[in-house]
Protein backbone atom coordinates (compact mmCIF):
# COMPACT_ATOMS: atom_id res chain seq x y z
CA UNK A 1 0.00 0.00 0.00
CA UNK A 2 1.54 3.32 -1.10
CA UNK A 3 1.04 6.65 0.67
CA UNK A 4 1.81 9.97 -0.97
CA UNK A 5 3.68 12.42 1.24
CA UNK A 6 2.68 15.95 2.13
CA UNK A 7 4.73 18.64 0.43
CA UNK A 8 5.22 22.14 1.76
CA UNK A 9 3.94 24.44 -1.04
CA UNK A 10 6.78 26.92 -0.46
CA UNK A 11 9.41 24.23 -1.06
CA UNK A 12 7.61 23.02 -4.18
CA UNK A 13 7.38 26.56 -5.61
CA UNK A 14 11.05 27.17 -4.79
CA UNK A 15 12.20 24.02 -6.59
CA UNK A 16 9.97 24.61 -9.61
CA UNK A 17 11.00 28.29 -9.90
CA UNK A 18 14.69 27.35 -9.91
CA UNK A 19 14.29 25.37 -13.14
CA UNK A 20 13.75 28.34 -15.51
CA UNK A 21 16.20 30.52 -13.58
CA UNK A 22 19.09 28.05 -13.81
CA UNK A 23 18.39 27.32 -17.48
CA UNK A 24 17.98 30.98 -18.49
CA UNK A 25 21.19 32.34 -16.90
CA UNK A 26 23.61 30.82 -19.47
CA UNK A 27 21.24 31.66 -22.33
CA UNK A 28 21.10 35.33 -21.32
CA UNK A 29 24.90 35.46 -21.00
CA UNK A 30 25.32 33.97 -24.48
CA UNK A 31 22.83 36.48 -25.96
CA UNK A 32 24.66 39.39 -24.32
CA UNK A 33 27.98 37.96 -25.58
CA UNK A 34 29.83 38.80 -22.37
CA UNK A 35 32.75 36.35 -22.40
CA UNK A 36 33.38 36.45 -18.64
CA UNK A 37 29.65 36.19 -17.94
CA UNK A 38 29.31 33.21 -20.27
CA UNK A 39 32.10 31.28 -18.57
CA UNK A 40 30.85 32.12 -15.08
CA UNK A 41 27.23 31.28 -15.89
CA UNK A 42 28.21 27.97 -17.52
CA UNK A 43 30.27 27.01 -14.44
CA UNK A 44 27.32 27.84 -12.17
CA UNK A 45 24.98 25.96 -14.52
CA UNK A 46 27.19 22.84 -14.47
CA UNK A 47 27.29 22.83 -10.66
CA UNK A 48 23.61 23.63 -10.04
CA UNK A 49 22.01 21.45 -12.71
CA UNK A 50 22.76 18.11 -10.97
CA UNK A 51 21.41 19.49 -7.68
CA UNK A 52 18.27 20.67 -9.44
CA UNK A 53 17.82 17.30 -11.14
CA UNK A 54 18.09 15.46 -7.80
CA UNK A 55 15.60 17.83 -6.13
CA UNK A 56 13.14 17.62 -9.05
CA UNK A 57 13.45 13.83 -9.07
CA UNK A 58 12.75 13.76 -5.32
CA UNK A 59 9.78 16.11 -5.75
CA UNK A 60 8.03 13.65 -8.04
CA UNK A 61 9.36 10.39 -6.58
CA UNK A 62 8.68 10.56 -2.84
CA UNK A 63 6.30 8.19 -1.08
CA UNK A 64 5.94 5.67 1.77
CA UNK A 65 5.01 2.08 1.05
CA UNK A 66 3.79 -0.63 3.38
CA UNK A 67 4.60 -4.02 1.87
CA UNK A 68 3.91 -7.47 3.31
CA UNK A 69 7.10 -7.56 5.38
CA UNK A 70 8.59 -4.06 5.56
CA UNK A 71 8.12 -0.30 5.58
CA UNK A 72 9.73 1.43 2.62
CA UNK A 73 10.26 5.17 2.29
CA UNK A 74 11.44 6.68 -0.98
CA UNK A 75 12.84 10.23 -1.31
CA UNK A 76 14.19 10.57 -4.85
CA UNK A 77 17.28 8.36 -4.98
CA UNK A 78 17.21 7.63 -1.23
CA UNK A 79 15.36 4.50 -0.09
CA UNK A 80 14.89 3.52 3.54
CA UNK A 81 13.68 -0.01 4.26
CA UNK A 82 12.72 -1.07 7.79
CA UNK A 83 11.35 -4.56 8.53
CA UNK A 84 8.15 -4.40 10.61
CA UNK A 85 9.60 -6.60 13.35
CA UNK A 86 12.30 -3.95 14.02
CA UNK A 87 9.92 -0.98 14.43
CA UNK A 88 9.56 0.06 18.08
CA UNK A 89 7.88 3.49 17.92
CA UNK A 90 6.15 5.68 15.31
CA UNK A 91 5.61 9.31 16.32
CA UNK A 92 6.09 12.88 15.12
CA UNK A 93 9.07 15.24 15.32
CA UNK A 94 9.62 18.96 14.75
CA UNK A 95 13.33 18.68 13.92
CA UNK A 96 13.60 20.25 10.42
CA UNK A 97 17.33 19.83 9.83
CA UNK A 98 17.83 16.17 10.47
CA UNK A 99 16.88 14.53 7.19
CA UNK A 100 15.53 15.13 3.68
CA UNK A 101 11.78 15.66 3.72
CA UNK A 102 9.12 17.87 2.09
CA UNK A 103 7.56 18.96 5.38
CA UNK A 104 8.94 20.69 8.45
CA UNK A 105 7.03 18.40 10.80
CA UNK A 106 8.40 14.88 10.41
CA UNK A 107 7.31 11.31 10.92
CA UNK A 108 9.75 9.64 13.33
CA UNK A 109 10.20 5.88 13.17
CA UNK A 110 12.41 4.33 15.84
CA UNK A 111 13.66 0.85 15.03
CA UNK A 112 16.12 -1.76 16.27
CA UNK A 113 17.81 -0.66 19.46
CA UNK A 114 18.95 2.91 18.67
CA UNK A 115 18.09 3.55 15.02
CA UNK A 116 15.56 6.08 13.83
CA UNK A 117 14.39 7.71 10.61
CA UNK A 118 12.82 11.16 10.21
CA UNK A 119 10.61 11.30 7.13
CA UNK A 120 8.00 13.43 5.37
CA UNK A 121 4.45 13.11 6.66
CA UNK A 122 2.04 10.96 4.69
CA UNK A 123 -0.93 12.86 3.21
CA UNK A 124 -3.40 10.63 5.00
CA UNK A 125 -1.81 10.44 8.46
CA UNK A 126 -4.62 8.60 10.25
CA UNK A 127 -4.94 5.89 7.62
CA UNK A 128 -1.16 5.47 7.57
CA UNK A 129 -0.98 5.12 11.37
CA UNK A 130 -3.84 2.59 11.39
CA UNK A 131 -2.18 0.51 8.66
CA UNK A 132 1.23 0.51 10.32
CA UNK A 133 -0.39 -0.45 13.64
CA UNK A 134 -1.92 -3.51 11.93
CA UNK A 135 1.49 -4.52 10.63
CA UNK A 136 3.41 -3.70 13.85
CA UNK A 137 1.09 -4.69 16.72
CA UNK A 138 3.91 -4.62 19.29
CA UNK A 139 5.11 -1.13 18.35
CA UNK A 140 4.01 2.07 20.07
CA UNK A 141 2.15 4.21 17.50
CA UNK A 142 1.49 7.80 18.60
CA UNK A 143 -0.65 10.38 16.79
CA UNK A 144 0.05 14.14 16.73
CA UNK A 145 -1.53 14.57 20.17
CA UNK A 146 0.93 11.96 21.51
CA UNK A 147 -1.96 9.57 22.18
CA UNK A 148 -1.50 5.92 21.30
CA UNK A 149 -3.33 4.71 18.20
pLDDT higher than 90, residue 80:
yes
Q: Is residue 53 part of a domain?
A: yes
What's the pLDDT at 30? 80
pLDDT band at 110; cut points 50, 70, 90: very high
Residue 136 contacts residue 84 (beta carbons within 8 Å): yes
Strand partners, 78: 75
Q: Is residue 21 part of a domain?
A: yes
**DSSP H or E segment with residue 27:** helix 9-32
Q: Is 109 helix (H, G, I), strand (E, B) or coil?
A: strand
Strand partners, 90: 109, 141
Q: Is residue 141 part of a domain?
A: no
Q: Is residue 125 part of a domain?
A: no
Give φ, ψ of 131 to 5 degrees.
Answer: -65, -40
Percent of the chain at pLDDT exceeding 90: 45
Q: Is residue 108 part of a domain?
A: no
Q: What is the pLDDT of residues 23-37, one digit of tens each?
A: 887 888 788 777 777
Q: Is residue 14 part of a domain?
A: yes
Burial track 104-131 (b if 16+ CB lie within 10 A, e otherwise): ebbbbbbbeeeebbbbbbbeeeeebbeb
pLDDT band at 138; cut points 50, 70, 90: very high
Give φ, ψ of 43 to 5 degrees.
Answer: -65, -45
Domain count, the chain: 1
Q: Is residue 89 part of a domain?
A: no
In terms of residue numbers, what domain contains 16? Answer: 2-60
Mean pLDDT of 98-107: 75
Give φ, ψ of 144 to 5 degrees.
Answer: -60, -30
CA distance to 53, 95, 132, 138, per residue, from 1 (Å): 27, 27, 10, 20
pLDDT band at 41; cut points 50, 70, 90: confident
Q: For residue 51, how many other CB atoms are within 10 A of its CB?
A: 11
Amino acid sequence: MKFKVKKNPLLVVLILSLIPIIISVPIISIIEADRTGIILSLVVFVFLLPILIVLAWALFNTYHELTETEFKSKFGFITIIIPYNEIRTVSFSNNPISSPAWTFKRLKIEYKKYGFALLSLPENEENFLQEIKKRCPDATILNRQRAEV
